[in-house]
Amino acid sequence: MTKYSACIEWLFEKEAPVFADRIRAARAAGLSGIEFWDASTKDLDAVRAALDETGLSMVGILCAPMRQITDPEMHPLFLESVRASLLAALRLGAPVMVVTTGDERPGIPRSVQHAALVKVLREAADIVKGSGVTLALEPLNDRVDHPGYYLTSTVEGLDIIDEVDRPEVKLLYDIYHSAMMGEHIEDVLDGRLDRVVHAHLADTQGRGEPGSGNMDWRARLDWLADHGYQGFVGLEYRPTGSTEDSLGFMR
């Protein structure tokens, strides 16, 4: 059975203006966990209290502030972000920290940028080693949501993971971004699903809840389950109506 976590940056946003109350709303809606982005902007005492009260799993946070890690000059700042975010992840019990690459550098060969990502992720792996926290590298689409973003290919993301060759660094597979890039899940993940530590879900077009668009989201979820994926699927979408109504697909 699929385990769903709510990205409470968007889910329950309208219903619960107080951020920690979104955790309680997620529990009432029958979700198994929650996740959010930048922990440095949150009241972590209130978040921790709501997690303790509800018993929900804290699934993941963003490694923030985000940096353009295709640029080696930004690597020291990125590693500072890893250290700071790791403290928050440990406080909240989050086993995943999401890493983004930042934009492609014009005029710089992609092979050079690729190598820069491998190098800095190995250094980041040393920081989180032994903590129980995994860094999750996330490919995004550059066609609608993130123009200029470097890592748009799931296959290249997995190639980077394999080159880093550290158990602390894996992939976040975002079903929405992958579909927006025209990828087919069986083509990009077959034989490599063990590198995926977390998944995200939204529908195309519009990034609404499953069923609001035209993507074969059920087939993609079934493929993950049929091939042994046991992690959470994070609901990272903008509800087209109320959050409660948007969760009808789960039932």
3-class secondary structure per residue, 156-224: HHHHHHHHHCCCCEEEEEEHHHHHHCCCCHHHHHCCCHHHEEEEEECCCCCCCCCCCCCCCHHHHHHHH
Q: 24: domain range?
A: 3-250
Per-residue pLDDT of 121-166, as tens digits, reads 999 999 999 999 999 999 999 999 999 999 999 999 999 999 999 9
Contact 57, 50 (CB under 8 A): no
CATH number of the domain residue 138 falls in = 3.20.20.150
Q: Whole-prediction pTM value?
A: 0.97
Q: Residue 127: CB partners within 8 Å, gap ≥ 6?
A: 79, 82, 83, 86
Q: What are the pLDDT digits (tens) for 184-214?
A: 999 999 999 999 999 999 999 899 999 999 9
Total domains present in the chain: 1
Residue 96's H or E segment, with its range, is: strand 96-99
Question: Rounded distance, CA 117 to CA 224, Å?
Answer: 27
